[in-house]
A and B are shown apart, each in its own frame.
Chain A
Amino acid sequence: MLIDTHTYIGHWGFRPLPWRSTDGLLRAMDEHGIDQAWVASASAILYRNTHAGNEELHAEVRHHRDRLTPFAVINPTYADWEHDLAVCQEEFGCRGVRLFPPYHRYALADAACRELVAAASARGMVISVPHWVEDDRERSWLLTQPGIVPVEDMAELARAFPDSRFVFHSGLGFSSTALGEKGGVQADYGLDIARLTVFVREELPTLLAWLGPERLIFGSGMPFTSVDVPLFKLEVLDVPAEAQEDIRWRNAERLLAGSG
């Protein structure tokens, strides 16, 4: 069993992605032995009205709910987001919210964001925060602000919501934050392994040693990034079979339990 907690369908404004629809995502999942995926709209990241992306996602995912778990993209600085959140959960069956602060001009510490996290958590939704969707060094000339969510901000957010559930994606440097300390954050959370180093800087083995396997989850960022890389990390990571299973799917299932 393998659950990919960080996938997308839709368009990206700065380069073509290898697929835009569920057909492409499901094909990639089949090719790589992925049973289920948590998916959000890539288009919604750049849409002014992110909810249009959620509607597109719903139209695509509704017939594949056995394998695809939709996550809403909500911008808490945009008009009527509370209604969008309700529609996403109640009508579209979204089990989480994925946040893109750099693209929507807010920070995780802002009151608007805290309000969204509180509202989504009250609905039992998982809060998903990617560190970035593409390496910031390739950022288009059109984007004047870095597209990065600092891992320190992720840790602060998780500390502020001890009863919430979080997943943090495509990050590095967790080991120097409260998220890398056993008991440093009371909230339940998962860190995806996509960019955690197995060798040389060895952040993934370090986090395993410090936290145990229960905080690590599988996430790829596809189709922005190649799923083969986190799969290869699993292949060469020296951990017992039980811990592999925790990372491959059990932790993700635990985090999703009770949502939606």
Chain B
Amino acid sequence: MVIDCHAHLTGAHTGVTRIWGKSDAAVLAAAARVGIDVSCASILTTALPAPLEGFRECNRQLAAVTRQHPGTVRGYCYVNPGYTREALQEIRRYVTDHDFMGIKLYNEYKATDPVLYPIVELAIELGVPILYHAGHQHRPVPGQPNISDSGDLAALAARYPEAVLICAHIGGGGDWEWTVKAARAAPNVYLDTSGSVFDSGMVQMAVRVVGAERVLFGCDTSYTAGIGKVRAARLTDEQRALIMGGNMQRILAMRRG
């Protein structure tokens, strides 16, 4: 089974949600065309930092999409951790009542900010992963002063060794060698292969440094780059199976209750 650990959808085009492609149907058709069986997806707000009503609308929309595509689309609950009480309510509600599989965090706060602690503690209680937008550049990232990198995620992971943290898109733009190395000593940080960058050796280095058990196939809507870069990596059949879905199946099975 091929599982895209990092997908995005839009829901209804209301202006609140960020638009990816012509329609969700077109995006999901693309996923199917490249051989993806399950898309673990979030819907993000156009407005950043995400306003309370914005991320609530995203999750409402995503719940509708998951109902339309049972088994094919699994939902990440997107929240802005700054709204602590409401974010916790949102996560519990969507994981418990709407079968969402994880939590999506963007760039509102660095992963080392204490505002994250209650979110991570709830993720551990529910047994769901957190997909964390991340990247490391050697100069400030325009418009993203609080973007996290894998080093920040490793620090958060050290504080919460039971948490499952997915460091988003090693191919999302940035020094991916730095990203891979900074995650090495954090056993509960997983690396997602997604993003438009398909430099030679990227996936192979991730496997060599953190092990195939901690590398997750993802696209972040870059479907041909997503598939192509894993194809390019020299891997055993067992490693490839883990990356393309085996690891994510293991993570999904950690769900409590």
Contact = CB atoms under 8 A, between A and B. Distances in A.
A232 B231 contact: yes
A53 interface: no
Contacts of B176: 138
Contact of A227 (B138, B141, B201, B232): B232
B232 A229 contact: yes
Contact of A199 (B21, B141, B174): B21
Candidate in A135, A137, A229 with the most chain B CB atoms within 10 angstroms: A137
A231 B228 CA distance: 8
Nearest to A15: B177
Contacts of A140: 138
Contacts of B173: 135, 137-138
Interface in A108-159: 134-135, 137-141
Most buried by A among B30, B197, B198, B231: B198
Contacts of A200: 20-21, 26-27, 30, 221-223
Given A17-B200, A137-B135, A228 B34 contact: no
A223 B229 CA distance: 13
B125 interface: no
Contact size class for B? Answer: 20 to 34
B139 A225 contact: no
Interface string B171-198: 0011111000000000000000000111
Given A15-B177, A200-B30, A228 B229 contact: yes
A18 B200 CA distance: 7
B80 to A, nearest CB: 24
Interface of B is mostly: loop
B33 A224 contact: no
A141 B138 CA distance: 6
A226 B33 contact: no
B199 interface: yes
A236 B196 CA distance: 17
A16 B30 CA distance: 33
13 contacts: A15-B177, A134-B199, A137-B174, A195-B196, A197-B224, A198-B30, A199-B33, A199-B223, A222-B200, A226-B198, A226-B228, A227-B232, A228-B232
Contacts of B196: 135, 195
Nearest to B203: A226
A229 B200 contact: no
Contacts of B30: 198-200
A230 B224 CA distance: 8
Contacts of B174: 137-138
Interface of A: 15-18, 134-135, 137-141, 195, 197-202, 222-233, 236
A224 B200 contact: yes
B225 interface: yes
A229 B198 CA distance: 7
B135 A232 contact: no
A229 B229 contact: yes
Given A199-B223, A202-B21, 13 more contacts: A17-B200, A134-B199, A137-B174, A138-B199, A139-B138, A199-B34, A200-B221, A201-B21, A202-B22, A224-B200, A225-B200, A228-B231, A232-B34
Contacts of B156: none
Chain B CB within 10 Å — which of A134, A222, A231, A232 has the most?
Answer: A232
Nearest to B30: A199
Contact of B137 (A137, A195, A226, A236): A137
Interface string B8-42: 00000000000011100011001001100000000
Given A139-B138, A141-B139, A226 B223 contact: no
Nearest to A19: B200
Contacts of A139: 137-139
A232 B200 contact: no
Interface string B91-111: 000000000000000000000
Nearest to B171: A135
Contacts of A231: 228
Nearest to A237: B224
A205 to B, nearest CB: 11
B195 to A, nearest CB: 9
Q: Which 4 pairs from chain A and chain B are nearest by CB? A: A229-B228, A137-B173, A199-B30, A226-B232
B223 A224 contact: no
B167 interface: no
A229 B225 contact: yes
Interface string B45-80: 000000000000000000000000000000000000
B227 interface: yes
B197 A135 contact: yes
A232 B228 contact: yes
Interface string B204-241: 00000000000000000111110111011000000000
